[in-house]
């Protein structure tokens, strides 16, 4: 019984550190976030950040790996159903949209790419890229898009989703202030993006 409680406490501490790290990386950026900041936000000892993640860099990569793992799990559930391009777009929409603070965290690092160019981070993000590569590989022989650069196709999907999500507070503010104005949900936006990508990849 004591072992089970200890295991649960360990999982809770790890989750709290990841949540605190994601929020701080999103609001302050990687360079400006210290291990002490993360520990204070997670209400734990600084040493636990290193114990669980090997330090700030390992925590950053673990947050990204969690998002990639979520995308891979969603893809495993639904990529075999219907059009693979549409399924891919919705997979990324669900994975990115369900990870708190991921979008602003990524945007901060795109603008200051010292972390994004880290080899471990790059290997982690390749997990999502492989989903895109798999869809391109599954296209019929002779399809022009079969020879397209997977990275360009990947960014053509993920880029608009990131911009849509980061603009959510602006859209919500406009809807509150301007009567009769509405904007699409993430799922509706993903549907439209999927249609565009399907046509591009025909």
Alpha helices in the chain (DSSP H): 2-28, 35-42, 46-53, 56-78, 84-97, 102-111, 119-137, 150-166, 168-177, 186-201
Residues 6+ apart with CB under 8 A from 193: 89, 157, 160, 161
Among 121, 122, 145, CA closest to 132: 145
What integer pLDDT is reported at residue 1 of this predicted model? 57
Domain count, the chain: 1
pLDDT-based confidence at residue 81 (cuts at 50, 70, 90): low
pLDDT-based confidence at residue 80 (cuts at 50, 70, 90): low
Q: Which CATH number goes with the domain that contains 36?
A: 1.10.357.10
Q: By the 8 A CB rule, do 155 and 92 touch?
A: no
Between CA 111 and CA 34 the distance in angstroms is 19
Structural domain that includes position 87: 2-201
Q: By the 8 A CB rule, do 88 and 153 touch?
A: no
Q: What is the pTM of this model?
A: 0.80
């Amino acid at each position: 019984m004591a072992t089970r409680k200890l295991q649960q406490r360990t999982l809770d501490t790890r989750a709290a550190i990841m949540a605190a790290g994601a929020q701080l990386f999103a609001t302050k950026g990687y360079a400006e976030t210290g291990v002490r900041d993360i520990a204070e936000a997670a209400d734990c000892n600084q040493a636990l950040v290193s114990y669980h993640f090997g330090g700030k860099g390992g925590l950053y990569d673990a947050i990204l790996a969690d998002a990639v793992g979520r995308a891979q799990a969603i893809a495993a559930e639904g990529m075999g159903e219907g059009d693979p391009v549409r399924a891919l777009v919705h997979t990324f929409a669900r994975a990115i949209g369900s990870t708190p603070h991921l979008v602003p965290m990524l945007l901060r690092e795109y603008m200051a790419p010292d972390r994004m160019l880290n080899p471990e981070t790059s290997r982690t993000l390749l997990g999502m890229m492989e989903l895109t590569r798999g869809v391109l590989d599954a296209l019929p022989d002779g399809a022009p898009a079969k020879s397209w650069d997977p990275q360009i196709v990947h960014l053509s999907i993920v880029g608009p989703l990131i911009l849509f999500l980061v603009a959510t507070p602006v859209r919500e503010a406009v809807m509150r202030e301007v009567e009769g104005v509405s904007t699409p949900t993430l799922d509706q936006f993903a549907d439209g993006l999927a249609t565009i990508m399907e046509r591009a990849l025909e």
